[in-house]
Amino acid sequence: MSKPKTSSKARTGQAKTKTSRLSPPTMGCDLFVQSLEHAGVDTIFAYPGGASMMLHQSLTRSKKIRTILPRHEQGGAFMAEGYARATGKAGVVMATSGPGATNLVTGIADAYMDSVPMIAITGQVPTTAIGRGAFQETDVFGVTLPIVKHSYLVMSPGDIPRVVAEAFHIATTGRPGPVLIDIPKDVQKATAQVTWPAAMNIPGYHIPLAPDESAIHEILGLIEKAQRPMLYVGGGIITSGAEADLLTFARTTGIPVTTTLMGIGCFPENDPQSLKWLGMHGTVYANYAVNECDLLLALGVRFDDRVTGKVSEFAKKATIVHIDIDASELNKNKIVHMPVLADVRLALRHLNQLLSRRSHTHPPKRWSKWREKIKGWRKKYPFSYTSVPNRIMPQQVIEELCHLTHGEAIVTTGVGLHQMWTGQFYNFNHPRSFLTSAGLGSMGFGYPAALGAKVACPNREVIDIDGDGSFLMNVQELATAMAENIPAKAIIINNQHLGMVVQWEDRFFSGNRGHTFLGDPKAPKKIFPDYIPICQGFGVPAERITKPEEIRPALQRLLDSKTAYVLDVIVPYTEHVLPMIPAGGTIKDIILEPMQLDNAPLQSEVPG
C-alpha cells in the first residue's frame, strides 16, 4: 500500500457541514478539547510547553479524556502509535511548538510508513508571529508535509470543530495515516460562536470501496487455472478488518498463506496453511513458495524491498494480482498483471460469496503436489538455532515466553535482531498482537508503544521484547510507566552491541567494528549501561539473568508482576538472525548457515 494523495494545504478539503446546534462563545482551547471528546478520544499523550499550555489547561477540565505525560515527545508519539496499532482507533499525541513539534517527527514518519491512524497536535506561535523567527517557532506544517496524510494550520477558532472532525475521518478511513493539526496560541485564546459539523463531505477525498465485478470473476478464473497458487497478505488485511474474510477465503480455496511483517497475525500462524512471513528474514519455505508459484494473490501489501529483494526477480514465474485501497501503490514497486483498486475486505467478501455458490470441491486435487512440495520445504527448513552450553540464546527466551503466555500477549519490539527473532519464534494467531516499526525501522519504538498498547488494552498482557540499544533510546518512559501505573513489561535481549549492524559487519565487512559496541571500550570487563540500577532509579523492578536455567522462573516473575518490570537477558553478541537474503538479492542468495565465530563471553568478559 502507498500514501493517499490528499492535499496538505490548510484550507483545502473543507467539509460541507450543517448547523446541528449553536453553542455560546467558547475559547479555542476549550473548543478543541470538546471537539476531541466529540471524536470519541479517551486518551491523549501530551507534553506541555509555552505554545500548548492553553490546551493543557482545558484538558485538566475534561471528564472524558485521560492525559498521559510522556517524558519525551517522541515517546509520546510512539505511545499514540501503540494505542492505535492495538485498537485500530486513532492515537492522539500533542506537543508544543518548535522542538516539541520536531521531536514528534520520527513518530509521525513511522505512522506514515506503517499506515497507522494518528492525530498529531502541535501548539504554534501566534498568527502575527508566524514567519518571523519567533521564540520556538518551527514550520511544522512544512516540515511534516511529506510524511502526513493531511495537514491543518488552524487560523480561526470557528474552524476547530470542522478541522478535528475531518482530521479523524481522514486518519482512520481509506489507507490510515497521520494527520497534523497546528494551532497558533492566539487561536487557542480567541473565542467563537460555534457550529458543530453534522455532515462529512470532503471535496477531493474519495475512498475506493467495492471492486470491479469483472475483476472478481477474472480472479476466480485465474484460481481455477492455477497449479501453484499463493496468498501474499499484508497490513492492509488488519487495517481493513479483513482477517475473518481472509480465513474463509483461504480455507475455501486451500491456497497457502504468507504474510509481511506488518501482516503478522492477520492469518493464524498455527494454521496448517500458514507459511508465516516471507522476505529477508522470513521462512525459507515461504520464500521458496513465492518464488515457485504460478499465481500470486497480493492483498493489502506494498511489495516492500525487504520482501521482494531484487524486484525484477520476485515471483517471476507468477501471474500477480494486486488488490489495494491505495491507487498510488498499484504498479509502483512491482508491475503486476492485474491491479485491482478496492477495499480488500470487500474484495474478499465478494470472492467468498461467489465461491459459496460453486458446487465443486476446493481445494482442487491438482494442487496436492504443490502442497506436498511446500510441506517438504517446511520440514527441511524450519526456523532453528543451536544451543550453546551455559549461554542464553535469544530465540530460547522468545520461545519460552510464547509458551508461558500461550501466544496470547500483545508483543511490541524495538528494531534489530530481537525484532526478527520475535517474528520468528513467537507464534501470533491474532491481528494487532505484533506491534513493530516495520517500514521506518525506528529504534526506541518498543517500550513507549507497549505503554500505549497497555493503556488501550488494560486486560491484555503487553510485553516489549527489545534490544539494549533500542531500549536505551526511550528509557525515560519508565518514569511514565510508574507515574501513570501502566504495568507494561520489557525484556531486553542484551548483546552489548548494535546487533543487526554487527551481523552486517560480520557478513560484509570482515567483522570490522564501526562503533557498534555499546559498552565502554576502556573498561572491557563491565557491561554498559547497567540497566538494573537505571530501572531502580525510576522505581521499576528489574533483574538480570545469564544462565539458561534462569529463563523460565525469571519470565514467570515478570508475568506475575503487577507493575512495570524489566528483565535484562545477557546473550552472545555473535548470534545472527537466519535465514537472511541480502539486500537486493534473490532466493538464490539466501544465507542459511551461521558463520564460524567464537561465542560471545558473558557479563564479566565483555570485549572492548
List active site positions: 73, 135-136, 185, 500
Q: Which residue bears the cell 478496492?
A: 342
C-alpha cell at 291: 518464488
Rounded to 10°, the helix 499-508/417-425 angle is 100
In sequence order, which residues have a C-beta less than 8 Å from that of residue 163 and are 6 or more positions away?
A: 35, 152, 154, 181
What is the helix (H) or strand (E) element at residue 70, kind and residue range? none
Counting DSSP H helices and E strands in the chain, the numbers are: 23, 22
What residue type is assigned to position 478 of the chain?
A: L
Q: Are 41 and 213 in contact (CB under 8 A)?
A: no
Rounded to 10°, the helix 551-560/394-405 angle is 50
Percent helix, percent strand, percent coil in the chain, to nearest 5? 40, 15, 45
Smallest Cα–Cα separation from 447: which of 479, 423, 414, 407?
414
C-alpha cell at 595: 558463520
CA distance 454 to 462: 6
- Cα 522 from chain centre: 38
C-alpha cell at 339: 491491479
Name the DSSP class of 212.
P
Q: Which residue bears the cell 496499532?
A: 85
3-state secondary structure of 545: strand
Cβ burial of 605 (10 Å; 0-12, 13-18, 19+) is exposed
3-state secondary structure of 321: strand
φ/ψ of 70, rounded to 5, equals -75, 170
C-alpha cell at 511: 567483522
> Residue 412: beta bridge partners?
435, 464
In sequence order, which residues have a C-beta less than 8 Å from that of residue 308 and are 6 or more positions away?
A: 279, 314, 333, 334
Cβ burial of 417 (10 Å; 0-12, 13-18, 19+) is buried
